[in-house]
Amino acid sequence: MTQKTIRDVTMDLLRELGLTTVFGNPGSTEETFLKNFPKDFNYIQVLQEASAVGAADGYAQATRKPAIVNVHTSAGLCNTMSNIMTAYMNKTPLIITAGNQTRAMLLMEPWLTNVQPTLLPQPWVKWSYEPVRAEDVPAAFMRAYAMATQAPAGPVFLSIPLDDWDQPATEPAVVRSVSTRIAPDPIRINEFATTLSQAKNPALIYGASIARGNGWNQAIKLAEKLQAHVFAAPSSERPPFPETHPLYCGGLPFAKGPLSDRLPGYDVVMVIGAPVFRYYPWVPGSYLPNDLQLLHITDDPNESARAPVGDSLMGDAVLSLELLESLVTQRTQAVSSPIKQPHGMAPHPAPSRSDSDGKMTALELFQAVRAACPANTIIMEESPSNIAELHTAWL
């Protein structure tokens, strides 16, 4: 009987985990991984390493399962860093792999050596590792899978010397299952539900974790039971709530003072599945209006710890929505219609034209694009500096 290699055992593990699609832009240090590539796997080759991470990020978000990325050693990994940071902010579970030089040569640091492989992708990965022995490669993938998928999900990195793949495997890989959702503390969520029920005018701020958990229906049920206005958290990665819903107020600005200015009149606001808060430009002001109590639910302990205001609860966004909806008191009094601002998440409204030089402004450009698009066009924006103009033209 032919002895299995590290490659064979690792591929068996990836099959068991359902990870048979790989995105990549390989080089010489990845050739040993790709040799005898299994016919039941798909390798999606792209033209540059950053594109591989971007494509894997989109795939993982769409399928709601992890994806594997295979890039070249240090130079290729450097090319990925902007999109690894994006995946980290998106909380997308990715296992990013890169080859390294042959183990026998690492001490000499020959050409293409990733000299400090575990440090290079930090701080934008949850875990970074180069196995000490070739025999540890399959177990390293299992740990990478667990780290990437457990809350808060995110990218991880494995550096694998190119001669590891052909080494003989001493034992089969151990396949484990892990939980990917955190149930909230029952006592604390009861306290949060009581506070919401007793509020005179509560508001909800929803974040991208609701969308990642496919939780729009649960988000709608809680908002309707409370008859509460709903805001999207500042610079949310994904839409957390249907923008056509009558309770939707739009996105909050990603600046301190303007965000606070959007919340007067509410006595309790609950943030679910988002940081408190994601800011970009410095615009002075208070974090919250006076006498506004903030409650925060997140599955990310870092988000909970760094929040400058509010009382936090660790928990999966969708599980928390379901529990809250079952615990809060039904409101019968209809809420007033929300005031929607056309500039949405922007810290300031779109500027009006102040000159007559004839040059097209950002607002005029977006208006022209909007006029040329069908009514059901889906927009993916990357225009933070002109987001006020974009929202004014589009919404």
Q: Which residues contact 370 (CB under 8 A, 6 or more apart)?
A: 393, 394
Residue extent(s) of CATH 3.40.50.1220 domains in the chain: 186-341
Residue extent(s) of CATH 3.40.50.970 domains in the chain: 6-161
- Other CB atoms closer than 10 Å to residue 246's CB: what's the count? 12
Residue 101, pLDDT score: 86
Angstrom distance (rounded) from CA 44 to CA 54: 12
Q: Give the number of residues written for the chain.
A: 395
What are the helix (H) ranges across 107-199? Answer: 137-149, 186-198
Residue 347, pLDDT score: 65
Q: Which two tokens stand for residue 216?
A: 């729009």
* CATH no., domain 6-161: 3.40.50.970
Angstrom distance (rounded) from CA 125 to CA 170: 30
Q: Considering the domain 186-341, what is its CATH architecture?
A: 3-Layer(aba) Sandwich (3.40)
The 10s digit of each residue's pLDDT in 46-64 is 999 999 999 999 999 999 9
Amino acid, single-letter form, for residue 4: K
Assess contact for 93 and 157: CB atoms under 8 A.
no
Residue 356, pLDDT score: 64
Residue 322, pLDDT score: 97
User: In the chain, at which residue ranges do the beta strands (DSSP E only) sit?
Assistant: 21-25, 42-45, 67-71, 94-100, 128-129, 156-161, 202-206, 229-232, 248-251, 268-272, 293-298, 311-314
Tell me the C-alpha to C-alpha distance, in Å, between residue 95 and each of 173, 196, 200, 359: 17, 39, 46, 46
- DSSP for residue 185: P
Tell me the C-alpha to C-alpha distance, in Å, between residue 56 and each of 37, 86, 214, 233, 330: 19, 12, 19, 25, 42
Assess contact for 117 and 72: CB atoms under 8 A.
no
Amino acid, single-letter form, for residue 309: V
Tens-level pLDDT at each residue, the chain (395 residues): 578 999 999 999 999 999 999 999 988 888 899 988 999 999 999 999 999 999 999 999 999 999 999 999 988 999 999 999 999 999 999 999 999 988 888 888 888 888 999 999 999 999 999 999 999 999 999 999 999 999 999 999 999 999 999 999 988 999 999 999 999 999 999 999 999 999 999 999 999 999 999 999 999 999 999 999 999 999 888 889 998 899 999 889 888 999 999 999 999 999 999 999 999 888 899 999 999 999 999 999 999 999 999 999 999 999 999 999 999 999 887 777 776 665 566 666 777 765 667 788 888 888 899 999 998 888 777 787 788 888 888 77
Residue 250, pLDDT score: 86
Residue 378, pLDDT score: 80
- In the three-class reduction of DSSP (H, G, I as helix; E, B as strand; rest coil), residue 323 is classed as helix
Angstrom distance (rounded) from CA 367 to CA 213: 34
Residue 111, pLDDT score: 85
Residue 346, pLDDT score: 67
Assess contact for 209 and 91: CB atoms under 8 A.
yes
Q: Cα–Cα–Cα angle for 270, 275, 280, nearest 5°?
A: 120
Assess contact for 67 and 23: CB atoms under 8 A.
yes
- Other CB atoms closer than 10 Å to residue 63's CB: what's the count? 11
